[in-house]
Homo-oligomer: A and B are copies of this chain.
Amino acid sequence: MKIGELSKKSGCSIQTIRFYEKQGLFEACNRSEGNYRIYDASSLRALRFIKQCRSLDLTIIEIKQLLDTKNNPNKSCSSVNNLIHQHMVDVTHRIAELEELKLTLSEMASACTDNRKVKECGVLQLLEE
């Protein structure tokens, strides 16, 4: 199949597919006579794997590491588990940061009503502090 079909089947845009190729994540198995990229069913599986990883917010470098690891079926998978675990720690941390931000924002929001003038705005006053 050509890139447009792969794009539709995978849900990745054509540009994204070419971008992943440039990043060394993903190759076309072939080129047609007219230099079009040609893919097969295993390309689709590989691309879905990448998409799944991206949906977990794994970086491209991390995905590359996962793919490397996958190529060594007899090695220990602890690096994979560590990666996921570290990611969970990071996400937890990020959530805490955002919760704090949300609190600050809600305090700000309650410092002003809409029918004031700029010079009396409670939000702007808090921002000045």
Q: Interface of A with B (CB < 8 Å)?
A: 45, 49, 52-53, 56-57, 66, 69-70, 72-78, 80-81, 84-85, 87-88, 91-92, 94-95, 98-99, 101-102, 104-106, 108-109, 112-121, 123-124, 127-129
Chain B residues with Cβ under 8 A from A109's Cβ? 81, 84-85, 88
The CA of A102 and the CA of B85, in the complex, are separated in Å by 10
Chain B residues with Cβ under 8 A from A104's Cβ? 56
Q: What is the minimal beta-carbon distance from A114 to any residue of chain B, in angstroms?
A: 4
Contact present for A72 and B118 (CB under 8 Å): yes
Contact present for B112 and A77 (CB under 8 Å): yes
Q: Which residue of B lies closest to A94 (CB)?
A: B98
One of B52, B76, B84 near A116 (C-beta < 8 A): B76
Q: Which residue of B lies closest to A85 (CB)?
A: B109
One of B53, B72, B78, B118 near A77 (C-beta < 8 A): B118
